[in-house]
């Protein structure tokens, strides 16, 4: 088959896909028109207006909650937030239906507006919130609270010395082994958690033997600490 014939065939296939897409859209539109007993164009407008209302309602709720966070911190004069940070936070928060994750968006924006918050606000935190679940956010917070209560958060280089076991985390969050495994692996992927490496008393040469715990025991990473402080605390 010549190149010209291959191009012509590709165009024909694309046209078929386009026709199929229009057929599906028309079928869906006809169905909803039947449900609501309204013309298709009005149904489309109703759905669009509903989505806009939901997003607007969430943005208003976000404004109230961020203002409350700032009031609790006694912040009156806020600082400007770069559009690169502010716009994706607001957009993602308006689409989020999990209250645990909306909590993270609200705190990230509040800290960005807080002139007393001196830690670095990484753009990557936005992608991290988009990539975790509410359970995973609670897991990070639980780990952070354990370290905070025991005074083990500083220096950051030492956080690797303190670990929680699989059983401790499952019990604290009331989650199954499967949920634990998936959550921990996802948080490791983003380098917010890491496997615990325990040092034994037996030495081989000058260095003590170490035990790699995989997901059976994990540590919060320095990046995980900073993520919690920017997005949860």
Judged against a pLDDT cut of 60, whether residue 19 lies above it is answered with no
Closest CA to 120 of 109, 112, 130: 112
Alpha-carbon torsion angle 152, 158, 161, 167, nearest 10: 50
pLDDT grade for 26, boundaries at 50, 70 and 90: low
CA dihedral 125, 127, 133, 139 (to 10 degrees): -30
The rounded distance, in Å, linking the Cα atoms of 176 and 98 is: 20
pLDDT of residue 59: 84
Q: How confident is the model at residue 11 (pLDDT cuts 50, 70, 90)?
A: very low
Within the chain, all domains assigned CATH 1.10.10.10 are found at 134-231
Average pLDDT of the chain? Answer: 80
End-to-end CA distance of the chain: 63
Indicate whether 2 pLDDT > 70.
no
- 134-231, CATH topology level: Arc Repressor Mutant, subunit A (1.10.10)
pLDDT, mean of residues 1-25: 50
C-alpha 47: how far from chain center: 27
Percentage of the chain beyond pLDDT 90 is 41
Residue-level pLDDT at 108: 94
> β-strand 217-220 against 163-165: which pairing, if any?
antiparallel
Distance set, CA 199 to CA 37, 102, 169, 203, 211 (Å): 70, 39, 21, 9, 6
Q: What angle do CA 94, 50, 41 make, to 5 degrees?
A: 135
Q: What is the pLDDT of residues 79-123, one digit of tens each?
A: 888 888 888 998 888 888 888 899 999 999 999 999 999 888 888
Over the stretch 155-180, which tens digit does the pLDDT of each residue have?
A: 888 888 889 999 999 999 999 999 99
Say what angle helices 3-36 and 40-72 make with each other, to 10 degrees: 80
Stated length of the chain: 233
pLDDT at 185: 96
Instruction: Give the Cα separation of 12 and 32 in Å (integer).
Output: 31
């Amino acid at each position: 088959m010549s190149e010209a014939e291959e191009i012509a065939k590709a165009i024909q296939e694309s046209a078929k896909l386009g026709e199929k897409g229009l057929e599906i859209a028309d079928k869906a539109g006809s169905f909803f028109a039947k449900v609501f007993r309204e013309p298709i164009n009005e149904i489309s407008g109703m759905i669009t207006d509903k989505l806009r209302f939901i997003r607007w309602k969430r943005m208003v709720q976000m404004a109230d909650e961020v203002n409350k966070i700032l009031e609790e911190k006694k912040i009156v004069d806020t600082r400007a937030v770069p559009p690169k940070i502010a716009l994706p936070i607001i957009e993602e928060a308006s689409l989020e239906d999990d209250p645990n994750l909306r909590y993270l968006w609200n705190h990230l924006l509040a800290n960005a507006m807080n002139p007393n918050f001196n830690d670095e606000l990484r753009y990557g935190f936005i992608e991290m919130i988009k990539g975790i679940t509410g359970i995973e956010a609670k897991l990070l917070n639980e780990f952070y609270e354990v370290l905070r209560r025991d005074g083990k958060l500083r220096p950051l280089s030492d956080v690797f010395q303190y670990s929680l076991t699989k059983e401790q985390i499952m019990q604290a969050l009331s989650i199954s082994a499967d949920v634990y495994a998936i959550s921990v692996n996802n948080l490791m992927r983003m380098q917010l958690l890491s496997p615990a490496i325990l040092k034994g008393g037996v030495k081989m040469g000058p260095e003590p033997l170490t035990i790699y715990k995989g997901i059976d025991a994990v540590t919060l990473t320095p990046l995980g600490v900073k993520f919690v402080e920017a997005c949860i605390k």
